[in-house]
């Protein structure tokens, strides 16, 4: 029997936004369909367009709802390389980067959301990271580190629990720490 559905505009809107966030973060933009979101949010498809406009706009709102690079950067500068290394080794291990990183590793090359990803990566990752690096070429060094994170995510999604974490975790973290240090060194 059909449950009587509550008439709860804000609640429904939030359920849709949460579902979209989860799905985009797991599958990327193109693999997520409106029908998949509606099923996950237990809401009618038409409501997605009614509340958010187009799929593109919904995606933009999901990314905008994300904060800056999650807490990883809030650390003294000398600990940053190790912290990022652990992030790559652990967080990426469970495919649990946020929607911004997922957009970089699963949905690049989709022209529809090119500008959105571009702006969000800059404001959520590149610029905060560059701001923490003293000395010249801060943006270049932040870009190198971001490239490493991005590429690691791509390979991780390709090979699952292979390669990057098949030896003991400590060896991986140690290696990545040195690489990040090379990215940041003046």
What is the spatial distance between Cα 40 and Cα 52, in angstroms, rounded to a whole number? 16
Are residues 55 and 34 in contact, defined by beta-carbon separation less than 8 angstroms? Answer: yes
Distance CA 27, CA 163 (A): 21
Does the protein bind DNA through residue 66 (CB under 7 A)? no
Residue 39, both tokens: 């099923």
User: Of the candidates 62, 73, 164, 173, which one interacts with a copy of itself according to CB under 8 A?
Assistant: 164
Closest to a copy of itself by CB, 55 vs 106, is 106
The answer to whether the CB of 107 falls within 8 A of the CB of 116 is: no
Q: Which pair of tokens denotes residue 22?
A: 């989860």
In whole angstroms, the minimum distance from the beta carbon of 12 to a copy of itself comes to: 28
| Shorter beta-carbon distance to DNA: residue 7 or 185 | 7
Binding span for a copy of itself by CB under 8 A among 38-46, 48-56, 61-69, 102-110: 102-110
Interface residues with DNA (CB under 7 A) are 4-9, 11-12, 32-35, 43-50, 54-56
């Amino acid at each position: 029997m059909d449950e009587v559905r509550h008439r709860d505009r804000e609640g429904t809107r939030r359920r849709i936004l949460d579902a979209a966030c989860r799905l985009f973060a797991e599958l990327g933009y193109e693999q997520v369909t409106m029908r998949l979101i509606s099923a996950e949010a237990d809401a009618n498809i038409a409501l997605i367009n009614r509340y958010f406009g187009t799929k593109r706009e919904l995606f933009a709102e999901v990314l905008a709802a994300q904060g800056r690079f999650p807490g990883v950067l809030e650390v003294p500068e000398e600990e940053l390389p190790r912290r990022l290394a652990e992030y790559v080794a652990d967080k990426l291990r469970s495919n649990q980067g946020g929607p911004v990183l997922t957009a970089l590793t699963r949905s690049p090359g989709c022209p529809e959301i090119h500008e959105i990803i571009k702006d969000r990566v800059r404001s959520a990752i590149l610029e905060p990271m560059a701001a923490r690096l003293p000395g010249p070429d801060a943006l270049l060094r932040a870009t190198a580190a971001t490239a490493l994170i991005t590429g690691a995510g791509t390979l991780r999604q390709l090979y699952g629990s292979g390669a990057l974490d098949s030896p003991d975790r400590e060896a991986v973290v140690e290696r990545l720490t040195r690489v990040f240090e090379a990215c940041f060194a003046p």
